[in-house]
Amino acid sequence: MATLFKRWTRGAAPEAELSSAAFADAAARQRPAFLDALWLDDAAPVRESDLPRFSAMASDDVEGVGEEPTLARARLALRDTLGASQPVTTRDRFSGRHDALTQLIAAIEQQRVHVVVYGERGIGKTSLAHVFADTAREARYIVLYGSCGTDGRFDEIFRAFAAKIPMLYHRSVLPTTVEVEQALNFDSLLPAGPFGPREVSDLFSDVVGTRVILILDEYDRIADPHFRRDVAELIKNLSDRAARVQLVVTGVASNLDELIGFAPSIRRNIIGLPMRPLNLGEVAEILHLGQDAAGLYFTDAAVQMISTMANGSPYLVRLLGHRAGIAALDQRRTQIDPAHAKLAVERVLTEWNATLPRRIQSLLAREEARAQWPLLVAAAEAGTYSDGWFVAADVAAEMPGGPSPASIESELRKLATAHELLESEVVGPETRFRYRFPGVASLLLMSASLARLDV
């Protein structure tokens, strides 16, 4: 998303201080007018007779409801193919990431290495992991999925993995032994208390007759450095023993070191797979899934607009594509044009704004926020990685030719103290910041894209 902001601000005159009139004037041009209308007083109440109703039954039966069955079926088809509330989990709904899936399969099958999948939020890492898992199971791999949390423990996660591997696949066990008859699993061979990577590698080195893939999703959420150290040691041990167990680690990061740390001893045992933004052709491929299922048609201009607004994010492509399709169906139209795409953006912004506390909505509506809009957006861009945290130098990098890092840090401190829009903490010699409410960053980034449409 950093590229978007640089394109958006290209050509602006360099500024030394945030308070300059020229900088404030630029901000007035860059905040889309739609947001000002969004922050007006609530509209008049709607009559009960005009209230919306469901278009289908809970069983997905569209007969006997208020809407025409054809329109209701199209809405359900759009939801099933472009719904963005959950990751894609099956091959028939997967699109736009064929190259990444090919690379991941080749790394596991041909190179026998461990893989680290990384990139920004909403870029499709979890969907790739699920579809890869589905594909590997077709090839008779045992694929086990685990989602990491901030309080995750190494022994708990790997005990859960071991509990799903049947003892039938242990080197010491014959098909007729009591362990198989009792349906025991690998966890029965682990110590009752805590254990580390040595015990896990000893156990997994005895896998025979199959191959096992362990997926550690959302690995960036792991806060314990000992956990990350243990995973690195496990990767090395499994590789040194040519074990039939491989790890696929996914998480938010801008580079490999940021996710797994600097561990030279395992570099030859892993491949980093960065998830790049979608290109226009891949965006069109995703949208065509929805249009083919629902009997709709996205015009080339609508595809281009959604691609621009989503800025390469599969999540946003699906979200905006779904909402644009619904907007067209609301008008009883089968062709989705740029007007529907823009309406989708406005609806998404409205929903995101509604999730924010009222005081934050009021703060963003003020003139002070208008004057600081480029800074606010640049801060949102800078917080794309590292769980939302950024320092003043990161923001300055998103504003080439703009204020100095010292000036930016001064303004960030005000936003963190006087307005409580940001939170801050001191890490070593630097103070880092992030938006107190993640929805603010999402709203700012989308509004930057919307502003480009209003120029």
The residue with tokens 């103070």 is 431
Length of the chain: 455
Which pTM does this prediction carry? 0.77
Q: Check residue 59 and give its pLDDT.
A: 58
Q: In what order do the strands lie in the sheet with 212-217?
A: 142-147, 212-217, 245-252, 114-119, 270-274
Beta bridge partners, 185, equal 166
Q: Check residue 138 and give its pLDDT.
A: 93
Q: Residue 139 CA to chain centroid, in angstroms? A: 28
Q: Check residue 49 and give its pLDDT.
A: 54
State how far the alpha carbon of 327 is from the alpha carbons of 71, 75, 450, in Å: 12, 10, 17
Residue pair 30/450 in contact by the 8 Å Cβ criterion: no
Residue pair 310/317 in contact by the 8 Å Cβ criterion: yes
List of domains in the chain: 2-39+372-454 (1.10.10.10), 72-84+280-354 (1.10.8), 97-274 (3.40.50.300)
Return d(Cα 315, Cα 52) in angstroms, integer.
26
Residues 6+ apart with CB under 8 A from 432: 389, 390, 391, 424, 425, 426
Beta bridge partners, 213, equal 143, 246
CA-atom Rg of the chain in angstroms: 25
Q: Check residue 68 and give its pLDDT.
A: 74
Closest by CA to 411, choosing from 388, 392, 385, is 392
Angle between helices 154-162 and 197-204 (to 10 degrees): 20
Return d(Cα 317, Cα 331) in angstroms, integer.
21
Q: Check residue 62 and give its pLDDT.
A: 57
**Tokens for 327?**
């907007």
The 3-state DSSP class for residue 334 equals coil
Backbone angles phi, psi at 279, to 5 degrees: -90, 175
pLDDT tens digits, the chain, 455 residues: what are they?
Answer: 433 333 333 333 333 344 444 444 444 346 777 787 777 655 555 555 566 666 666 656 655 555 577 888 888 888 888 887 777 777 777 777 889 999 999 999 999 999 999 988 888 898 899 999 999 999 999 999 999 888 889 999 999 999 999 988 998 877 666 665 666 889 999 998 899 999 999 999 999 999 999 999 999 888 888 998 999 999 999 999 999 999 999 998 878 888 787 677 788 889 999 998 889 999 999 999 989 988 999 999 999 999 988 888 898 999 999 999 999 999 999 999 999 999 999 999 998 888 888 888 888 888 888 888 889 999 998 887 667 889 999 999 888 888 899 999 999 998 888 778 999 999 888 999 999 987 898 888 888 888 777 65
**List of long-range contacts for 14-18, beta carbons under 8 Å, 24+ apart:** 14/401, 14/402, 15/401, 15/402, 15/403, 16/403, 16/404, 16/407, 17/403, 17/407, 18/372, 18/375, 18/403, 18/407, 18/408, 18/411
Q: Check residue 175 and give its pLDDT.
A: 64
The 3-state DSSP class for residue 143 equals strand
For residue 41, the number of C-alpha atoms closer than 13 Å in the C-beta half-sphere is 2
3-state secondary structure string, 190-256? CCCCCCCHHHHHHHHCCECCCCEEEEEECHHHCCCHHHHHHHHHHHHHHHHCCCCEEEEEEEECCCH
